[in-house]
Chains A and B, each alone.
Chain A
Amino acid sequence: MKKHFFLLLFTFYLSFIIGRLSLINASYVLPYPSAMPGNKLYTLERFFDTVKKYWCFGSIASYKYELGLADKYLVEAKTLFEYKQFLLAADALKRSDIHVEKLPSLVFSIEKEGKDTHMIQQNISQAMEEHIRVLYRIKEEVPESFEWNPEKGNKEDLQLHTMIQNAMLLRRNIQAGNAYE
């Protein structure tokens, strides 16, 4: 009986320390992958992504728009990395980074307008944590660098680990709240 009790206690300890298991699970959920490059609808989707910016007027709507696209392009990058389409994946990751970079200034605008940003900052923090988790897994699966040799055109040296590391660093800064200062 005593042995079972200590075994149970030890299991809980491990799960909290190693697995970062929380009793309250409110994890951020990334969207499903949308159309990928090569799909007939891909160009149309990219067009609507751009046009949607005008529909999402207002600082909170803009923040939701930018975060939504950051998530979408990260998922696109993840899928393309899995299919070893490194050039397209790198491009998708860059686009995700561009939208992530806009988040701190939008939060500042929302605060300046006198709106409560507590929930928004919490949401962004959870989103960045999920982004970092995904990027960490991608980094483990892709090579450090890759030379892309297209049939027509110049070869390109893709420093994949550096790119992913920079993306993680950007998100860590935002999560830490450094970028709001």
Chain B
Amino acid sequence: MSEKKVFLPVLFFFSVLVLSIFSYGFLDPGLMQFVPPYMLSFVLPLRDLVFEKRTYAAGIYTGILCMLSWSYILFLRRVRKGKNDIQQFKIYIATTVLLLIFSYPAFSYDIFNYITTAKLTFFHQENPYVVMPVEIPNEPYLSFTRAANKFALYGPSWIAVTYIPHILGLGNIWATIVSFKVFIGGAYLLLCYCIWKQTKSVWNTLYFSLNPLVLIETLVSGHNDVFMMLLLVFGVGLFFRSTVWSKIGGLAAYAASVFVKGATLPLFPLFFIKMEKERFFFYAWILLSITFVIAGPIREELYPWYAIWPLTAAAMLPFPKYRFIHEFSLVSSIGLELRHIPYMATLSYGGWGIIFRFLVSFIPPFFYCLYYVLGRKHILYENKKKK
């Protein structure tokens, strides 16, 4: 095996491993009381790095992101060259999932919100749309849950399925965190499988599965957007079969996806316009991108994990026919992951972070558009030398 062939997977898995270990530095103070003693010697130095040496932590994160992004682009280029051994990449994806499933949900508190909402619904047996978690003041999970003073932010589809990881957690907070991450990891794998099954393309599958934003926001932070997109992609796959029952099943799966987060609602008219599946996902990419840009600021800000919606649609489109969409989404996704840096460096959402987050969100895609129009150089495959 050549050095070049070994270097890329080593670089990639090294980045993934470092990310998994680094995530424990972000352990919430409210969870420290639940940390088993044998883990403290491992966790405390990492927490010291993240909370006391914040600039170094931000630098480490930037380094991890650069390594992940670079190896991701090189993987895609390698597949484009014809080196597309699906069995090998299945092992890569499975290993990535295993390494990141046991990471700490470092960059978002949403998973704790899922956990607390599930406990409120299934343990306390209260309606989460009527009762806020903070209305049970002696609930121990409040010590590490943010946004506990809000009613459930998710649809009934998501709340219903969280019964599974809630029960598997057996009332232990660490077991519950792992079971939620395993559940979301399972949704991620199923989505990768759906993309593979429908596109028959290793490149498209890897485009989604190894994207740094997808890895960090799904397998580390544990967001539920992959679950919503799994229902959408599965539903569309069913809908485009010829039988009536498959169309009904497809619409039902789509409806379930709408009741996760509501982001797929704008796609409703597409089901009633006669078009091919490729066209469907093209328009879906446009609509989901618009939803992403509009929905974020309406909520509070542009959340990076919302980019999973258009990324999934982009992964369903053939390459290089939709090269602009693929490269634009890729560049945007890397820029969006840089949004975590200001909070890491300052532990504050204000100050220079506001300008920084705006710049990293909009400057990379803007420059890519200029690059595409003026430079015509490809990111995702090597340019053919002109004779």
17 A-B residue pairs with Cβ-Cβ distance under 8 Å, sorted by A, are A55-B129, A56-B127, A56-B130, A57-B125, A57-B126, A58-B124, A58-B130, A58-B131, A59-B125, A60-B136, A61-B130, A61-B131, A65-B130, A114-B138, A115-B136, A116-B136, A116-B138
How many chain A residues touch B (CB < 8 A): the figure is 15
Write the chain A residue with the least CB distance to B132: A60
Give the total of B residues in contact with A, Cβ under 8 Å. Answer: 12
Q: Are B127 and A116 in contact (CB under 8 A)?
A: no
Q: Is the CB of A116 within 8 A of B125?
A: no
Contact with B along A26-65 (1 / 0, CB 8 A): 0000000000000000000000000000011111110011
Whole-angstrom distance between the Cβ of A134 and the nearest chain B Cβ: 25
Q: Are B127 and A61 in contact (CB under 8 A)?
A: yes
Write the B99-135 contact mask toward A (1 if CB under 8 angstroms, else 0).
0000000000000000000000000111101110001
Does A140 have its Cβ within 8 Å of any Cβ on chain B?
A: no
Q: Are B137 and A60 in contact (CB under 8 A)?
A: no
Residues of chain A with a CB closer than 8 A to B129's CB:
55
Closest 4 pairs between A and B when the two form their complex, measured CB to CB:
A58-B126, A116-B138, A61-B130, A116-B137
Q: Which residues of A contact B139 (CB under 8 A)?
A: 115
Nearest B-chain residue to A55, judged by Cβ: B127
Distance, CA A28 to CA B23, complexed state (A): 45
Q: Does A118 contact B (CB under 8 A)?
A: yes
Tell me if A151 is interfacial: C-beta within 8 Å of chain B.
no
Are B137 and A59 in contact (CB-based, < 8 A)?
Answer: no
Where the two chains meet, the residues of B that have a C-beta atom closer than 8 Å to any C-beta of A are: 124-127, 129-131, 135-139
**Is there contact, CB below 8 Å, between A64 and B137?**
no
Residues of B within 8 Å of A56, CB to CB, are 127, 130
A59 to B131, CA, bound (A): 10
Nearest chain-B residue to A56 (Cβ)? B130
Could you say which of A60, A113, A114 contacts B135, with CB atoms under 8 Å apart? A60
Find out whether the CB atom of A115 lies under 8 angstroms from the CB atom of B131.
Answer: no
> 1/0 per residue A107-149: CB within 8 Å of B?
0000001111011000000000000000000000000000000
Q: How far is the CA of A59 from the CA of B150 in the complex (A)?
A: 18
Q: Is the CB of B127 within 8 A of A57?
A: yes
Complex: A119 Cα to B139 Cα, angstroms: 14
Contact in complex: A61, B137 (CB < 8 Å):
no
Query: A118 touching B137 by the CB < 8 A rule?
Result: yes
Contact call B127/A115, Cβ cutoff below 8 A:
no
Nearest A residue (CB) for B125: A58
**How far is A113 from B124 in the complex, measured between Cα atoms in Å?**
8
Task: Tell me, in angstroms, the Cα distance from A61 to B120 when the chains sit together.
Answer: 11
Q: How distant is B131 from chain A, measured CB to nearest CB, in Å? A: 5
Among A55, A64, A115, the residue within 8 A (CB) of B138 is A115
Are A64 and B136 in contact, CB atoms less than 8 angstroms apart?
no
A114 CA to B126 CA, complexed, in Å: 13
| CB-based contact A58/B127 at 8 Å | yes
Q: How far is the CB of B331 from chain A (nearest CB, A)?
A: 45
Residues in chain B near residue A116, CB distance under 8 A:
136-138
Pair B136/A61 contact, Cβ less than 8 Å: no
Residues B124 and A64 in contact, CB atoms below 8 Å apart:
no
